Amino acid sequence: MRNLRNIAVIAHVDHGKTTLVDELLKQSGTFSAHQAVDERVMDSNAIEKERGITILAKNTAIHYKDAKINIIDTPGHADFGGEVERVLKMVDGVLLLVDAQEGVMPQTKFVVKKALSLGLRPIVVINKIDKPAADPDRVINEIFDLFVALDANDAQLEFPVVYAAAINGYAKHHMDDPSENMIPLFEAILEHVPAPTGSIDNPLQLQVFTLDYDNYVGKIGIARIFNGTVKKNQTVMLAKADGERVSGRISKLIGFLGLVRTDIEEAHSGDIIAIAGFETLDVGDSIVDPNNPMPLDPLHIEEPTLTVVFGVNDSPLAGLEGKHVTSNKLSERLEAEMKTNIAMRYESIGEGRFKVSGRGELQITILAENMRREGFEMTLGRPEVIIKEEEGVKMEPYEHLVVDVPDEFTGAVIEKLGKRKAEMTAMNPTGDGQTRIEFEIPARGLIGFRSQFLTDTKGEGIMNHSFLEFRPYIGGVEHRTNGALVSMENGEALGYSLFNLQERGILFCGPQTKVYTGMIIGEHSRPNDLDVNPIKGKQLSNVRSSGADDAIKLVPPRLLNLERALEWIEEDELVEVTPKSIRVRKRYLDPTVRKRLARNAK
């Protein structure tokens, strides 16, 4: 009998999952002595490295004593909740990481609920105990209360606790133990995580939980073997979720150790491996013995809650910075994304426009960010929530929102959220001059709220939200209250004209920026849109001017990144995304067309 453990690391975003996996890899001797290793080595994608967040669930394996431990590092953001959910079906235990200062947060609740409902017994790791305001005892009480609220059974309530500071590379069973290394955590994993059930003598059963793509071998499914043995070149049957059966051969079998993927000849019950050979492979599909097919239950994947329309860039500056600008290229790229990204959908809606649905703004902006880095140009419309109908009732998604704000700003935040139809469910002072407030809010009310929230709390507020459920549609929700400053000329913006415009509102561009008719160059200080001329220069003559030349003092512009631009725009506006620039524009650039449409709307 092989000594094997399969665990997932789950936690709220930024509580230290990837750093903990780093330390386990280093201290188990998985890396050779001469190997140079990055920090947060599991975050392999460029955007993950830059932002310090995990986007894709990734797996690795380590050897400790005579045991092999398969570890899956999961994302903490609710937008990637689909990733976490599937991973939990593949493991026999979870490490639940909670920050010793922040305590239980919305994503913690989200992932714990999934883990408990699957009958997993978490090992609780109180991480970051080296923080000055850490309070491990309070956090353990919070976790116990959460487990009770989520109907945990007696065995789950008797959870083992390990205290750790992953960044410093130590874990311990009791707070007063010496701080040495991660051995207490390795021991806890071996002691409390059950070995995989299933037997190598049973017929083959294996289920795919995430996808990868390789230009040479095609689709790769990362899967767990629940029963039996699988060999390279073996003839097997693919059982799809819709009941379709396809016979085929496993062309490649890949095993994991540390960060290395190696070709292997065979794998057994309990292993987590990657397989290739089926072009139609999807997440949740089973691979079974053709002589005795017993497919596993397909995985339930939560529906997308948000859509954004991607379109061809048709602005006067189109094609100057990117190399992929046609609708065919956009369509191919979105099609390729859907091959590996199970939580997203897309459909063509004609005129070079594609409706992309996902779990949240972050998930969709990360796709757009990856595309612009690959040389694509496109336009994005305002995010819309997906409304569905159940028994004749219009239903919309609701979110559970938790904000941590300094005490003096609580009034402003509650007032703004009230206008967006949020209901307050709890309000607790956390000490240290902060208050934690919980709300239930329609997902529509959160679109465009983040930048407003950061302004109201002077950048000190923290907000987190996770999907709650679909509820009856609640009617209109307030959005942006200010209009836009819209350019009425093509050319380059000049400092002289921007200086005169800055008292009209907040500018989004500086001097020497290329502008065109219909491009939005700033936010108006009033509710209406204003057509302005940002390229007007000073009239120069050879007569000495009677007024002295005033020094031009320009306020630095508010530069929009992709998320802020998407949140800011209204229905009649678009974000133009190119590899070098992010611009905001009106959907219809011609001012006479806009005026005519505004008249017809009335």
DSSP reduced 3-state for 450: helix
Q: Give the H or E element holding residue 598.
A: helix 591-601
State the CB neighbour count (10 A cutoff) for residue 85: 22
Confirm or deny that 128 is annotated as ligand binding: yes
CA 125 to chain centre: 23
**CA separation for the pair 301, 285 (Å, rounded):** 12
State residue 303 phi and psi, 5-degree precision: -70, 150
> By the 8 A CB rule, do 213 and 340 touch?
yes
How do strand 306-311 and strand 266-268 relate by DSSP bridges? Answer: unpaired
Confirm or deny that 17 is annotated as ligand binding: yes
Close Cβ partners of 281 (under 8 Å, ≥ 6 residues apart): 208, 211, 219, 221, 238
DSSP reduced 3-state for 187: helix
Confirm or deny that 89 is annotated as ligand binding: no
Confirm or deny that 379 is annotated as ligand binding: no
**CA separation for the pair 562, 573 (Å, rounded):** 14
What residues form DSSP beta bridges with 397? 470
> By the 8 A CB rule, do 359 and 301 touch?
no
**CA separation for the pair 227, 229 (Å, rounded):** 7
Confirm or deny that 15 is annotated as ligand binding: yes
Closest CA to 380 of 319, 309, 457: 309
> Roughly how many angstroms between the first and final C-alpha of the chain, as a whole number?
75
State the CB neighbour count (10 A cutoff) for residue 254: 19
Could you tell me the sign of the dihedral formed by the alpha carbons of 486, 490, 493, 497, in that order? Answer: negative
**CA separation for the pair 21, 185 (Å, rounded):** 11
The residue behind tokens 């921007």 is 498
Confirm or deny that 127 is annotated as ligand binding: yes
How large is the greatest C-alpha to C-alpha distance in the chain, in angstroms?
99
State residue 580 phi and psi, 5-degree precision: -110, -20
Confirm or deny that 14 is annotated as ligand binding: yes
Tokens read off for 428:
């607790």
Burial of 130 (0-12, 13-18, 19+ CB in 10 A): middle
Tokens read off for 16:
């230290």
- Cα 108-285-199 angle, rounded to 5 deg: 85
Confirm or deny that 16 is annotated as ligand binding: yes
The residue behind tokens 């509820």 is 471
How do strand 306-311 and strand 384-385 relate by DSSP bridges? Answer: antiparallel
H-only helix segments in 489-538 = 495-501
Helices 81-88 and 106-117 meet at what angle, rounded to 10? 30
Instruction: Report CA-CA distances (Å) from 121 to 148, 156, 186, 222, 358.
Output: 13, 5, 16, 24, 30
Closest CA to 239 of 273, 269, 208: 208
Confirm or deny that 268 is annotated as ligand binding: no
**CA separation for the pair 24, 255 (Å, rounded):** 19
What are the binding residues? 14-19, 127-130
What are the binding residues for GTP? 14-19, 127-130
